[in-house]
Amino acid sequence: MAQNRITSRCARALHVSVSNAAFLLALGGCGVLVWLVAGVAGPVVAAVMGVAVLLVLSRLWWMRQPVVIPTMTQTPQAAGSLRVVAISDTHCTHQRLRVPPGDVLVHAGDFTKRGTIRVRLHLWRGSSMWRGWQCRH
Amino acid sequence: MQALSLRIVLQEIAEFNDWLGTLPHRYKVVIAGNHDLLFDHTFYNDTWRKWVDTKEHCEPLSAAALLTNATHYLEHNEVGWRSDVEFHPACTCGCMCVVCVLPRVFSVFSVFVALLLVTQVVRPPCWHTHLPPRFFRTRIM
């Protein structure tokens, strides 16, 4: 169980670091793109942009992978015991989860996100900032 | 457009409820968190004008009613479980309104939390909250 926990933490840390690096490199790539459009090109710039694109694609691939909770899937449930599966903070990504079987499932909050791109866009468009610009009909 | 945004949030809850229905667990307990804003009575009673045009669209009770596949929605209450050989009284206590670092959302120290703090000394329950009360076992395991 400890090994699984450590592996999970390492995977999560790697995911966060890769995501942050991809985001920063994507931002840098956009800046370099402007630089390229201005007429300056070079192999280093092309390599950086390529790496940024690869990292963004890798993150998209990662987000589509199923999430397995390994701690309880590898240990059989003892007879007469009560197994409680506790999860939380799925934030609308519950479809990716492979939840281990058990008697009680506890979802301890944050199953919605209120922050998907669709919701954020609609909230932003419905904010009071645009009230004077909305069509009255 | 604001009502449409609320419909999307309700749709998120409905999709989560559908996913709950596919799980094989006998009991399914749901506790709201700080991102599940539709479930916070205090927050929506104070700020519903920023979200929707009419208040009847944002009643938290209607949001909880969408969780039809959850056997228990815990909010300031507790529930016990029975396994094959033993009954576990007050095994799960759910509370989303705990004292947390967020200034606006779920910053209510409820009587239920105070009672839990007392009863945990006498009869330790398995306490499930989304955020722990401030200064009380805030170390993340």
pLDDT in tens, A77-110: 777 777 888 888 888 778 878 888 888 888 888 8
Q: Which residues in chain A have Cβ-Cβ distances shorter than 8 Å to B130?
A: 88, 108-110
A61 and A81 share a domain?
no
CA distance B20 to chain A (A): 9
A5 and A48 share a domain?
yes
Q: For the whole model, what pTM was predicted?
A: 0.62
Which range marks the domain in which residue B45 is found? 2-129
- B35-60 pLDDT, tens digit each: 777 776 666 666 666 666 666 555 66
Q: Which of A65, A98, A121 is the last residue of a domain?
A: A65
Which of A104, A131, A135 should we substitute to test contact with B (largest number of B Cβ atoms within 10 Å)?
A104
- What pLDDT is stored for residue A2 in this prediction? 43
A91 and A59 share a domain?
no
A6 and A39 share a domain?
yes
Alpha helices in B22-87 (DSSP H): 41-47, 60-65
Question: Cα(B133)–Cα(B110) distance, rounded to whole angstroms?
Answer: 10
CA distance A77 to chain B (A): 12
Which range marks the domain in which residue A13 is found? 1-65
A51 and A10 share a domain?
yes
Burial (0-12, 13-18, 19+ Cβ within 10 Å), B119:
middle
CB contact under 8 A, A105 and B23: yes
Question: Cα(A86)–Cα(A58) distance, rounded to whole angstroms?
Answer: 29
Q: Is A40 on the interface with B (CB under 8 A)?
A: no
Q: Which of A42, A65, A88 is the last residue of a domain?
A: A65
